[in-house]
């Protein structure tokens, strides 16, 4: 399936989806960076969720639900890409170390999901 990767968000106040940016290189790394920044309240504080799209296909969704960060991917292959990729450094300092101190993984029965609980 073709198409470029893009990052979208959903506003907390209006429920509207908004385009955030195109992710031309290493999209899962950039999605991971934005998700970690979102979970730590460093970026996207006005959003209730983040989405990674490839063309019209939703590859992944990140959502804060109480004390949990829930990630749902289109397939387990995309979830494994999340597991193995490094957070890509952008305009915010590297955040994954802080994330791993603040959030712990929670087991799930679904290979296409990743769940983290805030300490």
- pLDDT tens-digit profile, the chain (119 residues): 468 999 999 999 999 999 999 998 889 999 998 999 899 998 999 999 999 999 999 999 999 999 999 999 999 999 999 999 887 665 555 666 778 888 999 999 999 999 999 98
pTM above 0.85, yes or no: yes
Task: Count other C-beta atoms under 10 Å from residue 41's C-beta.
Answer: 9
Q: CB-based burial of residue 1 (10 Å sphere; 0-12 exposed, 13-18 middle, 19+ buried)?
A: exposed
pLDDT at 3: 85
pLDDT at 86: 80
- Could you give the number of structural domains in the chain? 1
**β-strand 17-22 against 5-11: which pairing, if any?**
antiparallel
Range of the domain at 55: 5-118
**β-strand 113-118 against 68-73: which pairing, if any?**
antiparallel
pLDDT at 1: 47
**Separation between Cα atoms, residue 22 and residue 12, nearest integer Å:** 21
């Amino acid at each position: 399936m073709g198409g470029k990767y893009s990052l979208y968000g959903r506003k907390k106040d209006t429920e509207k989806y908004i385009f955030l940016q195109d992710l031309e290189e290493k999209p899962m790394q950039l999605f991971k960076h934005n998700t970690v920044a979102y979970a730590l309240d460093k970026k996207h504080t006005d959003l209730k969720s983040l989405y990674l799209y490839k063309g019209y296909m939703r590859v992944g969704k990140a959502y804060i639900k109480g004390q949990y960060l829930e990630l749902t991917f289109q397939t387990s292959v995309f979830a494994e890409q999340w597991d193995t990729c490094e957070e890509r450094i952008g305009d915010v300092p590297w955040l994954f170390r802080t994330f791993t101190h603040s959030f712990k993984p929670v087991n799930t029965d679904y290979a296409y999901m990743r769940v983290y609980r805030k300490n």
